[in-house]
A and B are shown apart, each in its own frame.
Chain A
Amino acid sequence: MPIIGIDLGTTHSLASYRTEEGSTLIPNALGNVLTPSVVGVDDNGQILVGEIAKERLITHPERTAALFKRYIGTDRRYKLGEYEFSPEDLSAFVLRSLKQDAEALLGESIEEAVISVPAYFNDIQRKATKRAGELAGLRVERLINEPTAAAVAYGLHLEQEESQFLVFDLGGGTFDVSILDMFEGIMEVKSVAGDAFLGGEDFTDMLIGRFLERFGLERDSLDNRTMAALRKQAEQGKRMLTMQQDAKLTCTVDGETHEWVIDRGLFDHMSKPLLNRLRNPVERALKDASLSPKELNEIILVGGATRMPLIYSFAARLFGRLPAARIHPDETIAIGAGIVAAMKERREELKEVVLTDVCPYTLGTMVTVKNGDGGYDNGHFFPIIERHTVIPASRVERFYTVTDDQKAIRIEIYQGENRLTRNNIKLGQLEIPVPTNRAGEEAVDLRFTYDINGILEVEATTLSTNETHRLLIREDVSGMSLEEVEKRFRELEDIKIHPRDKAENRLLLARGDRIYEETLGSARTQIAGALRRFETALGRQDEREIRKEAGMLKELLELAEKQPED
């Protein structure tokens, strides 16, 4: 039974498999290899996936969901008609449709797949992706980082045996950079970096924002349908500009038709803030690989958004040379995933190739440190597995009690690069009991094991008792069998949707959380602060303070949402 490779993308998904003759992309029922990552529910309550669903985005926006990959692993729920779906559920529909296409083409049943994920996916998102595969009836033993998959696809086509190259992957929703070193049949990922909230869609969003601004329209005042129509116009405009010098956006709002012609020069100018955001990950990846751009043999562009001439010339200026784009940018990742699937099967022609990947972010724990005044400061981040450690990797660190008669050591696991844990992402926590003793006399050995799929396991051993505790990063991460998947579908049909009580504040909080996820840098810290203060105000129930904080938060959020369009 062949294993297929799947690129589960933000906007499109593809599947491929590899034979001795080479890689094949699997066409869907419409004969296309790209299946839009869009899921809808028709009026009879039937699920629609792909192109058809995508068309209905405009006509039935409230019964259609797209871009759900951005929220995989979160509590976000999509209400489509009478159903409520998690991002995993929706991803599972897409995966299932790809699986059926593959079965139709290969004439045998497919039970296992290798799925690609953005390098910057954290543990929670990775586990959610695996679960989506299981919900679709696929065994997913192996996840592969998208830039790595792209590099594998590229590397295998390379004529020369030894090469160091950089993969610049700008997809629909994410941006990834990775640097690889190929020698003696080894493909070694040296570094990866990226921006989980930057992709081709942001250019579309930017166009929409500018359009609204130009005609003095409020985003909130437009209904879903108009908004979806405008998105389609912006999308088309963006595509048009890759082929011709100008493009026209038209949109009818309240009976009035607005028309806007943009040329490449204007588009380039408006895109500058987005382009600026592309630079940091490139720099980080080079720095972490201790390479200068001169030492790279090649720059490879991957991902649909790199078709924009703007991106091509940006990369050329950045690296001072013309990038290579030999493989179809949309298809590279899927082909790479297919190759990794074949490697997993240990197929003859790939036997001599070994791939090593790295951990894309630093993993560590929260510690208390002595401060200058002889007291203790909490909330410091202590790295255990540094980013760009080759995986699989396992590291142990020892931690001591800080007070006399301390009863337990609290372990909080974080991911990120900041000095303070509050600015990093919390993955989970665990309390390890220790026998009471003098400060510093009791200790816990903490072992982090990061497996080849980028999934973390944490084990803590109390030294004096030799007791071992294991941390489950998330309790709800449990495999579901096929029957349970079916059961889940039946359950979904029975779910009656309760109208959530109209709580402005909660809505604002949710919005704050969402935007917090989408923002980076100082805006993110600010939002976190405002959110915390707003929550505190809510807790205190001081209405005056709540109003004040809500106002400030709203302002911040609006600012943060506008920023990419500045």
Chain B
Amino acid sequence: MNIWATLGIEPTSEVKTIKRAYARRLKECHPEEDPENFQQIRRSYESALEEAKELAERDIRARLSPSELEQLRSPEPTAAKPGDESPLTIFLRRCEELYADISRRIDPDEWQDLLDDELFWPIEIRERIGDELFGFLLKHSFLPKKVLNLLDGHFEWTVRERRLYEDHDKAEITLLMERFSSFWELRYDRLWTDEPYDYDAFLRFREQAHYALVVNDLDLAEKALKGAALLNNREPDCLRLIALFYMRKNQPESALQVLDQWLKDEPHEPEARLMRADALLRRENWEPALLDYQELLELLPGSIHALSGIAACKEALGRLWEAKSVYEDLCARYPEDLDVQIRLLVLNDKLANELTESEGDVLAGARTLAELYLDTGRETECVALLLETEQERPLSAELNFLLGKALGKLERYAESEERLDRAVVQTESEPLKQADVLKLRGLIRIALERYEEAREDLKRVLLFQPSDPEALYRFGESLRMEGRYEEALQLLHHALELSSHWYYHSARGDCFYSLRLYPEALLDYLRVIQYDRGLTEAWFRAGYCFLRIGDYAHAAEYFEEAMGRGFPEAILLLIAEARFRAGDFKQAADLADRYNRERPNDYYGRIVEGDLYRASDQAVEALERYRSAALLAPTEYLPLRLVAEMLLRLDRVEEAELELAELAERHPHRGWAHLQRIRLLIAATRWREAEEAIVRYTEQIDAKDQDPLVLFYGGYILFRLQQYEQAVEFLEAACKVGFERESEEYLIRCLAALGRYDQAEALATQALVADAGRPMLVEISEALERYSARKWKLLRRSREAELPEVEARPVLPEPAGEPLPDIHGF
């Protein structure tokens, strides 16, 4: 494209001329109406401006003398007089001054004042200032985050990061950018001491120690901390790192000394308080630790660290009931914290033992003890206790409920239900309590597989508490158990909207899975795994979902995880499938082989192994596997079928025929073997046997299950047996069910043989209209035409039409049979 031609002018260095030409062209090609041409004009315009600039420069150069040119090349003479500093120099000097003074360096206001100085405002120099300051920071970056963010907000380095890489070292920038966006920050507020020291050296040591502790390099940390402490041994962040170091080294005594020092300087620093409490706890100094934790709780009300520390100390001090109530408080506040729950369980267990052993009136405390037993998984003892209590007096609603719960956990569902029936009656006047009982009875009834009644209970709960997620979930489960997945899904969705529990996800995942909605199911199973990686079934099912949605690498990974967690080895076959589909045949074959060696009597493993070979076109190996499967399960259809399939594929015709005959014998109602055998017989021109086989096929297979192909086979055989009348019948029927292409030739031949030339010729013409690309038909048609032309000429029919020879072994269509998956799944 010639840019000047597009603009309609001669090349010029005159910008004005170019602009005028551009304006004129633009009015002809309005950007809104003719975007294509507009873009071309625009490109030409931009290039023309570039070229004009170059032309102008060349012009100047041509006109200048060498000495003038030299002058042009040398940088502009700087008219700087001493004392008349440029704003840029002043700015940098002031930065250096600020940075040098540690108390000013850390003060954002000082930096703000610098930025606000109008001396640095003019736009021309501001960008330079920003670039220079960035360069300065690359070397001087020990600044509080607040200052860094202030500067960045002003000069927008992080926003324009892309540009910075052009001018500076990449590694240095990355380090600085890290400082802008890191989440941790070391303190700068207590660096200053009466006696000045090398602050930057200290900061470097301190940061080095911090990083060393992050990667747990204790030797390096020790070296760095020593260096830092030599310069300033009172700086709180440094003290914190030292204490942390001693704790890592398991020297709580040394840590305590450091922390005492820190707390003397900063008694209200929660971090220091917590660290000291933890150190004391580690040394089993329960009383002082308790005091520190209580102090911490004052500083940070509700702190989980303080509360769990208090609980641990109280427990160690034997104040078990107090500890129990703190743990219960913690459990309520942080319901997902498993650690606290386990500690509460252990404590409950301890308390239950204590109560059981105590000589006092056990029955009076029956409820507390029963609850403790239940909490700690001692259901048998719970049941015994409550039954003993009942000897003395009838059980209250609560106790019947507890007993029902315990019995349910022991899987004594009938007894459990009976107890809950009583509790339901006893709580008739207290709907809130009754709801709990009904919810449990619903669950027990699901276990008893009486789903309708379970739903009755849960309906009553939901009537009273329509957004009880647990009731919704159980309702959904009762539906799922009966295979009513869609309805179950509705309820489980609702339950999950209200509350997220892994078993809700698991149940919903199962519904999706049963409905073959694999991607949806997968999401739920992943949530389950996220909750607890020990849930093996979820690994397996997630793997299966991955397999079905085509993510084979993940499928294999998840199956392997499930197997590692004790899933039965049948999963090896699925892993093999996943590996195979991911393109790793070797590993797949190894896995299948391993399975077969571990389960030598399972024919299915051989089939899968064979499938792997079959799908990768190694028919001989596949045949071998299928043969051994057939040996293991001689009465099964599938192995024999696969053996025959492979023989056919390998073109071992005689063996195949024997195999097919056997298959047809053993499984007379499966049509495929019959038809394949007929095909082989036809190919071998054993017409009589083929005819018999056809008769057997039509006798054995229900008319509605018959493959229409048999009509064509039959017609062809009859044609070859020269039973033309019958052959016509068969072939005409075959044409009607979609085998025109195959049948037409033979039908025409039959008609001709029967002397029905007009019909034959008409049919041939019709067939060629449909598809002229069949040489044999063309020949036949021409022969027929010749014959009819002669007929009219000679007006007599002395001779028959001479049709071309029949092809001896035409390629015949194969029967479809039942679909074979490339790899057999479960």
Using CB atoms and an 8 Å cutoff, list the residues of chain A in contact with chain B.
183-186, 272, 276-277, 279-280, 282-283, 286-287, 292-293, 317-320, 344, 352, 354, 356, 381, 390-394, 405, 417-420, 423, 451-452, 501, 520-523, 525-526, 529-530, 533, 539-544, 546-547, 552, 563
Contact = CB atoms under 8 A, between A and B. Distances in A.
9 contacts: A184-B23, A276-B115, A276-B116, A283-B126, A317-B118, A392-B31, A526-B183, A541-B336, A543-B334
Contacts of B23: 183-186, 354
B594 interface: no
B153 to A, nearest CB: 5
A195 B280 CA distance: 53
Given A292-B124, A540-B530, A523 B27 contact: no
B96 interface: no
B-side interface size class: 35 or more
The 6 closest A-B pairs by CB, nearest first: A184-B23, A543-B336, A419-B162, A392-B35, A543-B334, A522-B152
A529 B180 CA distance: 12
Contacts of A533: 183
Nearest to B550: A407
B123 interface: yes
B528 to A, nearest CB: 11
Contact of A544 (B30, B112, B153, B334): B334
B390 interface: no
Interface string B521-554: 0000000001100000000000000000000000
B149 interface: yes
Nearest to A540: B530
A390 B42 contact: yes
Contact of B31 (A356, A501, A520): A356
Contacts of A279: 121, 123, 126
A9 B30 CA distance: 29
B124 A293 contact: yes
Contacts of B183: 526, 529-530, 533, 552
Contact of A354 (B30, B154, B530): B30
B333 to A, nearest CB: 9
A190 to B, nearest CB: 12
Interface in B747-774: none
Nearest to A353: B27
Contacts of B30: 354
A317 B42 CA distance: 36
A529 B177 CA distance: 14
B350 interface: no
Nearest to A276: B154
Contacts, number: 128
A525 B152 CA distance: 12
A272 B123 contact: no
Nearest to A453: B32
Contact of B153 (A293, A391, A523): A523
Contact of B337 (A286, A293, A320, A544): A544
A419 B161 contact: yes
A272 B116 contact: yes
Contacts of B483: none
Contacts of A390: 42
B149 A354 contact: no
A349 to B, nearest CB: 15
A354 B27 contact: yes
Nearest to A356: B31
B446 to A, nearest CB: 26
Given A417-B160, A543-B337, A544-B337, A352 B124 contact: no
B666 interface: no
B180 A525 contact: yes
B26 interface: yes
B285 interface: no
A373 to B, nearest CB: 14
Nearest to A538: B500
A541 B531 contact: yes
Interface in B135-166: 148-149, 152-156, 158-162, 165
B181 A501 contact: no
B530 A184 contact: no
Contacts of B123: 279, 282-283, 286, 292-293, 318-319
B102 to A, nearest CB: 23
A287 B27 contact: no
A186 B158 contact: no
Contact of B181 (A276, A344, A526, A546): A526
Contacts of A405: 583
Contacts of B658: none
B70 interface: no
Contact of B39 (A320, A394, A563): A394
A525 B530 CA distance: 27
B20 interface: yes
Given A354-B30, A392-B31, A542-B336, A417 B158 contact: no
B19 interface: yes
Interface in B681-700: none
B732 to A, nearest CB: 44
Nearest to B154: A276
Contacts of B152: 521-522
Contacts of B22: 186
B498 interface: yes
A546 B115 CA distance: 39
Name, among A282, A390, A546, the residue most crowded by chain B CB atoms within 10 Å (CB to CB). A390
A25 B616 CA distance: 77
B127 interface: yes
A533 B183 CA distance: 11
Contacts of A529: 181, 183
Contacts of A539: 530
Contacts of A540: 530
Contacts of A542: 336
A131 B31 CA distance: 24
Contact of A525 (B26, B42, B121, B158): B158
B495 to A, nearest CB: 12
B705 interface: no
Given A184-B20, A522-B181, A525-B180, A418 B159 contact: yes
A392 B43 CA distance: 12
B181 A521 contact: no
B38 interface: yes
Given A392-B31, A417-B162, 9 more contacts: A183-B19, A184-B19, A185-B27, A293-B123, A392-B35, A521-B149, A523-B149, A540-B530, A547-B334
Contacts of A392: 31, 35, 38-39
Contacts of A563: 153
B335 interface: yes
A221 to B, nearest CB: 19
Interface in B80-115: 112, 115
B605 to A, nearest CB: 29
A417 B159 contact: yes
A562 to B, nearest CB: 12
Contacts of B122: 293, 318, 320
